Amino acid sequence: MTNKKKLGLTARIVIGMVAGIAVGFVFKLLLAGQDDRILHILGMDIALKALFVDGFFHIGGEIFIASLKMLVVPLVFVSLVCGTCSLSDTSALGRLGGKTIALYLVTTAIAISLAIFAALLISPGDGVQMQSDATFNPNEAPALSQVFINIFPSNPIDSMAKGNMLQIIVFAVLFGLAMAMSGKAGERLASVFSDLSDVIMKLVTLLMNLAPYGVFFLMAKLFTTLGLETIASLAKYFGVVMAVLLIHGVVSYAIILKLLSGLNPMIFFRKMQDAALFGFSTSSSNATMPVTMETVTKKLGVKNSIASFTVPLGATINMDGTAIMQGVATVFIAQVFGVDLTLTDYLMVVLTATLASVGTAGVPGVGLIMLAMVLQQVGLPVEGIALIIGVDRLLDMTRTAVNVTGDAMVSCIVGKSEGAFDQTVFDDENAGCKEEDVDFHHLR
Ligand code: ASP
């Protein structure tokens, strides 16, 4: 037995992140002005960039992201099947779906309205010169009708292979419902699924222990290559997006949570730290989903029957942070190009950005593809995106943390209103923390 107090996971992730950023900056300085630097260590020629940046950092970071993603499909499918088949009546499902989707859409609409308002107030685009050589080739954004058709899978195995979240959700819900109606056979299967769910959650816990290292590698690679110089020239745009992200992620969420569920926002934010840090360092709500799920069920006290539905749905359709970037970016681009948008145009922006988030998954940089859709809708040049691309990486990280927090907040509200919420877990400061300290000795 040792009396030495172990650092909590959040502290370890923060240390990994800060160390990664510091190491990234050192490498950036070392490599400044040259493609690679050859070091002579113990008589060997070692190329610094190839060995560390493209070697260790890249490999470590990619393995971390891949292992998170590895858990997403099995986790969503298994826990959603468990969740649906444990719902007492099928009408609860319709109510649950309606409530969740409505909350996701309303919070996104609030976020983008706030963003447009702030951008109009501060005018980040005034005085910014349009570079004539700016180019941006957007990926094709899906048509809205196709978005709805695409929700229904024709081949669930294909949906799983491609990680198409909405299709997986539809299949899992139907499968879970059928299981609930299948008497003894359904019950036997339900106990298998429940065991599977426990094992997958254990895998999430194991993986979270490695997060400080994964985050270190991700940050070290990113900050070696990140061009921070562009931020100065776009300081106003960057500042407005960041400010609105913070206001929405802290103030709006605290008010909405308090008003609609009566829960204490301070406790909520304290418990969300790990998930938000994961979102920040991976820039992907999808990859963060296992951690969000663990946080929502084990730390915040939402029952699995609700969280298994609200979290994956949120990671796919709820992107408040992304909507904020789109709102500010639209006003910014309109100002740079000298286009006056009308009130109808702004309403169109709110509507398109809110609906666009339904059809696109939460992965890094997807916000820019959605932005192309929004700009086209109001007749603004899509090339405008080239102006803001330079500072998008850091904003992507921050808005993903907001997206993830929004998913958890709505899960709490829905859980509370459906009576599927454990207040003692929410109030317990240490809930869900002990399991993070996995004793790897057992595995030897
Ligand atoms: N990276 C964001 C997410 O995964 C989406 C985006 O804004 O690009 O939530």
Ordered by where they begin, the domains of the chain are 9-428 (1.10.3860.10)
Q: Are strands 38-41 and 44-47 parallel, antiparallel or unpaired?
A: antiparallel
Q: What is the pLDDT of residue 299?
A: 96
Q: Is the pTM of this model over 0.85?
A: yes
User: DSSP label at 41?
Assistant: E
Residue 117: its pLDDT value, please?
95
3-state secondary structure of 67: helix
Can you give the pLDDT at residue 34? Answer: 64
Place of tokens 């949906």: 159
Q: Which of 317, 399, 404 to mutate to test the pocket of ligand 1 (most atoms within 8 A of CB)?
A: 399
The C-alpha angle with vertex 255 and arms to 249 and 259, in degrees rounded to 5, equals 140
Q: Specify the pLDDT at position 79.
A: 85
Q: Which residue has the tokens 């040049």?
A: 381
Closest Cα to atom 1, ligand 1: which residue? 364
For 177-230, strand residue ranges (E) read none
46 alpha carbon to ligand 1 midpoint, in Å? 37
| pLDDT reported for residue 91 | 77
Atom of ligand 1 nearest to the CA of 363: 4
Is ligand 1 within 6 A of the CB of residue 322? yes
Residue 132's pLDDT is what?
Answer: 46
Which pLDDT score is estimated for 2?
47
Q: Is 367 in the pocket of ligand 1 (CB under 6 A)?
A: yes
Task: Please work out whether the CB of residue 83 comes within 6 Å of at least one atom of ligand 1.
Answer: no
Per-residue pLDDT tens over the stretch 62-112: 999 899 889 889 988 998 898 888 776 777 788 888 999 999 999 999 999
Which residue numbers in the chain have pLDDT < 70?
A: 1-6, 33-46, 88, 129-144, 359-360, 434-444
pLDDT of residue 43: 62
pLDDT of residue 1: 44
Using alpha carbons, list the distances in angstroms from residue 338 to 113, 127, 380: 21, 10, 10
Q: Which residues contact 211 (CB under 8 A, 6 or more apart)?
A: 9, 12, 13, 16, 64, 274, 278
Residue 265 CB partners (closer than 8 Å, separation 6+): 253, 254, 257, 258
